[in-house]
Structure 1
Amino acid sequence: MSPTATGTRPRPTAPGPAGPQPGLRRELDRRRSARRRLVAAGVAGLVVVLVGVLVWLLTASSVLAARTVDVSGQRGLTPDQVREAAAVPLGVPLARQDVDAIARRVTTLPQVASARVERRWPHAVEVVVTEREPLLAIRQPDGFALVDDQGVAYETVARVPDGVLRADADPGAVPLLTALGVVAAALPVELADRVERVRATAADDIVLELRSGTTVRWGDASESDLKAQVVEALRTSKTRAIDVSAPHNPATR
């Protein structure tokens, strides 16, 4: 009797879960894409609204409008004089304020050398002025014309301010006044205090008259720092005239 083969038959495996059908997958992808487009459109719309609100707040609303004008840096001028020249349109939004035009209006004041204008959120316009520094005072029928280091005669006052040199010169001769300003700026305090006046008919013929009666022939404005040092070294109570027009070869008598 031949042996019979024994064993177990393999069981058929159960089918796994079926994946989405191609048509269903396309539908799901379409819906996800639609949702993404809807969200993106909503975000874009919100951004547009926010930008519009911001632009309106900055340029049209009174929420961020100019209400005050702050002034600093002035000495002889009053804040109200600066504000009047600035002519800042109050109630206009800060973003629409033309700060360059405001600065130009402020510099029409003769005493102002320069002006800087800035927006100070939420409600202020700040004006910072730099006034001219007087170096010379020229006698005029109604007082003394003050002249700065740029040779600009910008204001007439009743008396010569402290530290300002009295000058005899044409107040309209800007190159000459500029040269005199260079000389005045080069004088040390001790020497400047001894100067009665400075006179000149030309830029190369500047003369200083000291309170002691000594006359200093300065020449032109070149090497003014050296000339001032030479004058201080040569000046004595007996010296009546000093010539430093050639400072490396000065003369006295």
Structure 2
Amino acid sequence: MSAPVRGRSTRVRPAPNRRPKSAEYRARRRIILRRRLVALLTLLTIVGLTYSVFFTPLLGVHQVDVRGSVVLTEDEVRATAAIEPGSPLVRLDLRGIHDRVAAIPRVAAVEVERQLPGTVRLLITERVPVGSVKMPDGFHLVDATGKDYAVLPTAAPGAPELFLAAPSPSDPATRAVVGVLNELPEKLRPDVLQVAATSGADVKLTLTGNRVVKWGSSDDTPRKAAVLQVLLTRPGTTYDVSSPDLATVS
């Protein structure tokens, strides 16, 4: 008798739970569209901010702050700077503003700064006179560079009167005079009433008490000043320090 044949049991595995292909496609598409929308909104925001900053008064100039002016008024400086109210701060021509303000004769130096959200600051340094030259139209103020920068009806207070034919930074006599005055020690300055020169080698100082100092050129001014301070302890009316090693009193 033959043995019975056992049949093989077949197990049917359940199919994985998958969403229809069309549903998966739609989900991916929604993610892509969402990302594109975010990118578009970001781009539009950047464009809008850039346009607002560069082309609208949103970050425009609302104030021009002037610092350091002494004789010049703040309104004079602002008028020369010519900064249009509401002009976009980031598009300002700082070099142009600097050059316009620097062209004011009394201005020795100027710095231009942007300050958010809407301020332009102008830091002014005015020229200081080392002396004044009497001319037909008044007293011309001369600064430490030899520049003739202003005219007053009277001499500059606290500064000596200068005797120069034509004060100018390019004039040898002017350069010699301001060179001496720039290096004079503080102790001597109050005694100096007048300074004269016709060339770069014949500077002469007139001091209080009708005393005259023959200075010569502006070379070796510190040494000449030190020698002069010693000579002034001696009585005399004329002090010659043009050659400091051979200084004389008479």
Task: Calculate the TM-score normalised by the size of structure 2.
Answer: 0.84
Tell me, in whole angstroms, the C-alpha distance in 1 between the residues paired with 2:14 and 2:132.
105
Deviation at 1:187, TM superposition (A): 1.8
Counterpart of 2:122, as a letter, is: V
Deviation at 1:106, TM superposition (A): 0.8
Contact kept in structure 2, 1:135 and 1:181, CA below 8 Å: yes
| 1:135 counterpart SS class | strand
Tell me, in whole angstroms, the C-alpha distance in 1 between the residues paired with 2:94 and 2:41.
32
Counterpart of 2:221, as a letter, is: S
Equivalent residues, number: 241
Unaligned runs of 5+ in 2: 1-8
The one of 182, 197, 206 aligned to 1:209:
206
Residues 173-201 of structure 1: per-residue CA shift (max 9 Å, x gap):
42432331121122223322112201000
Tell me which residue corresponds to 2:189. Answer: 192
Counterpart of 2:132, as a letter, is: A
Deviation at 1:31, TM superposition (A): 6.8
The one of 218, 227, 232 aligned to 1:235:
232
Q: Percent identity?
A: 32
Tell me which residue corresponds to 1:120. Answer: 115
The one of 78, 83, 93 aligned to 1:83:
78
Tell me, in whole angstroms, the C-alpha distance in 2 between the residues paired with 1:173 and 1:117.
28
Aligned runs of 1:97-108 on 2, under 5 Å?
Answer: 97-108=92-103
| 1:155 counterpart SS class | strand
Determine if the alignment matches structure 1 residue 66 to structure 2 residue 64: no
Deviation at 1:34, TM superposition (A): 4.8
Determine if the alignment matches structure 1 residue 226 to structure 2 residue 223: yes
The one of 86, 93, 104 aligned to 2:88:
93
Contact kept in structure 2, 1:145 and 1:171, CA below 8 Å: no
| 1:75 counterpart SS class | coil
The one of 125, 132, 152 aligned to 2:127:
132
Task: Calculate the TM-score normalised by the size of structure 1.
Answer: 0.83
Contact kept in structure 2, 1:165 and 1:184, CA below 8 Å: no
| 2:181 counterpart SS class | helix
Deviation at 1:142, TM superposition (A): 2.5
